Amino acid sequence: MMMRRRTTLLTGCTALVLALGATACGGDEPVSAGGGDKSLDGQTVTVAGVWSGSEQKNFQKVLDAFTEKTGAKTQFVSTGDNVSTVVGSKIEGGNAPDVVMVPQVGVLKQFAGNGWLKPLDEKVRSTVGANFAEVWQNYGSVDGTLYGLYFKAAHKSTVWYSPEALEQAGVTPPKTYDAMLKDGRTISDSGLAAFSVAGQDGWTLTDWFENVYLSQAGPEKYDALAAHEIKWTDPTVVEALTTLGKLFKDKQLIAGGQKAALNTDFPGSVEKVFGPEAEAAMVYEGDFVAGVAKDQFGKSIGTDANFFPFPPVGDGKAPVVSGGDAAVVLKDGKNSKAGMALLEYLATPEAAAVWAEAGGFLSPNKKLDLSSYGDDVTRATAKSLVAAGDSVRFDMSDQAPAAFGGTKGAGEWKILQDFLRDPADPAKTAAELEKAAAKAYGN
C-alpha cells in the first residue's frame, strides 16, 4: 500500500525446526510441515496478500520451503491494497483462497465478523503460544478466539538519520523528545533542515501522533483510544497534538516548512535525507525506511544511514508502535486444512529465518535467532521489537475502521494534514477527530 499498509521492512541461520501437524484433505492422519516427509504431496494451498515485487518474491521463498518439506504446491495471488474487497469478491465467486495475509487488525476483525475465518487449531495455537508474545496473540484474536498469526511485522518507532549530517552539526542521537527538537535546531543552524516530513501521505502523520501519544499518555489510554472507549476530545489527545504541533509549526525543524511537507510523499521524504541532494538530516518512519535508502539511493545501512529509537516524551517511556501482516485461514477455501498446516509452519522460527536471510523483513517471533538477519541495523531493530514484548502497541489507525483510520483524503489522515497545515488549535483538531471517529465507529 502505500508504504504504511505495505509494511516493507528491513545470514547464517540457527533455525529451530518444530514438528508441525495438520489434517490433510480427505484424511484423518496428521501431516508434518516440519519433517520433510512430503505428507501433503499433490495438494495445493492458495495464498492471497497485498505483497508484490520483492516482498512477493521473498515470501515465495518461504512458500517454496514449505513445499520442500510437505510436497504441497502453493499459489500466491497479489490482491493490491484493497485486500478486503478482493477477498470478498473471491468468496462470493466461489473461488476463496485458503490463506490470506491480512495487513490490518481492523480487516482481521472484519473478516472474523463476516464469519469468513477458521479459528486456528490446537497445534497452531500451541506453536504461536510458545513463539510469540501475548500482545501478538491478542491482536490476532477476536472475542478471545485466535484467528491470525502475525508472520511479518514493522517497527514504527524508529527515527532514521544521516550519520554524516549529525556529526557535522556536532550532535549525537537524542535520548528524549525535547532533546530531539533541540538537536534539530542545532542541525538547522548548521545549514540543513532537521526533519523531512511526508505530509502528503496522511498515514505518516498518524504514525507521528501514535508515537507521541503512546509515550505521553501511556499504553492503557492508547488502548482505550484505539477502541474508541475514550473520545478524541480527551485531554490526553489535546496534549499529544500540542506536543506534535510544536514540531509542525517550527520552520527551523521541517524541510521547506509546512507547505513543502504537505507536498512530500513518503519516498520523497526519504530522498530528502538520503538522496543526492540532501535537504534534511532525519526522517521519522518505520524500519522500512532502510529499504528505500538502500535500494533507491544506494546507502549502506549502518554507515550512510542509521536509526535511533523514537525517544520518550516528557516523563513517559519510549514508545514501540508496530504494524504487521497476519496469516488467516478462510472457511471457504478449497484446501483450508492444508492451509492450517501452512500457518503452523509460518509460526516457526524456521519459516521466519527464510525471509530474514533474504532481507526486507522483521519477525515478531521471539524464537528466531537474530543471526538470521543479514545486517547489524536490522538485527538491532528486530531485537528492539521483540524485547518490547507485551508493551508493543499495534498501529492505532490500522485498528480503526478504514473510514476513519485508513482512507486518503478523509478521516484521521485528512484532519492531521489540516493540522500540519495549521497547528494553532489542537482542541479544535481533537473535536474534528472525535466527530469523524464517532461516525466511523458508529457511536
Q: Using a pLDDT cut of 90, give the percent of the chain over it.
A: 83
Is the pLDDT at 20 greater than 60? The verdict is no
In order, the DSSP letters of 313-335 are PTTSPPP-EEEEEEEEEBTT-TT
Q: Is 182 exposed, middle or buried (0-12, 13-18, 19+ CB in 10 A)?
A: middle
Can you give the residue ranges of every domain in the chain? 22-154+322-393, 158-319+402-441
**Cα separations in angstroms, 221 against 41, 62, 385:** 50, 38, 21
CA distance readout (Å), 111 to 85, 108, 144, 190, 426: 11, 5, 15, 52, 35
Q: Tell how strand 321-329 and strand 393-394 pair up.
A: parallel
Dist. CA 342–CA 329, nearest whole Å:
9
DSSP 52-80: -HHHHHHHHHHHHHHHHHH--EEEEEE--
Give yes or no on whether 22-154+322-393 and 158-319+402-441 have one common fold: yes
Is residue 235 classed exposed, middle or buried when 0-12, 13-18 and 19+ CB atoms within 10 A define those classes? exposed
Measured in whole angstroms, the distance separating CA 410 from the mean position of its chain's CA atoms is: 21
Residue 317, pLDDT > 60, answer yes
Cβ contacts of 314 within 8 Å, gap of 6 or more: 177, 178, 215, 216
Identify whether the C-beta of residue 86 lies closer than 8 Å to the C-beta of residue 79.
yes
CB neighbours (10 Å) of residue 94? 8
Q: How many residues does the chain have?
A: 443
Spell 58-77 as b/e; 16+ CB within 10 A means b.
Answer: bbbebbebbbebbbbbbebe
CATH architecture of 22-154+322-393: 3-Layer(aba) Sandwich (3.40)
DSSP state of 311: P
The pTM score is 0.86
Mean pLDDT of the chain: 91
Residue 367 confidence (pLDDT) above 90:
yes
Task: Please give the grid coordinates belonging to residue 77.
Answer: 495471488
CATH topology for the 158-319+402-441 domain: D-Maltodextrin-Binding Protein; domain 2 (3.40.190)
pLDDT in tens, 84-102: 889 999 999 999 999 999 9
How crowded is residue 277: how many other Cβ atoms within 10 Å of its Cβ?
Answer: 6
143 or 29, higher pLDDT: 143
Rg (CA), the chain: 22
Please give the average per-residue pLDDT across 228-244, as a whole number: 98
**Amino acid in the structure at residue 113:** G
Residue 389, pLDDT score? 92
User: Residue 188 pLDDT more than 60?
Assistant: yes
Q: What confidence tens digit (pLDDT) does each residue in 253-264 have?
A: 999 999 999 999
pLDDT on residue 36: 64
Cα-to-chain-centroid distance, residue 356: 16
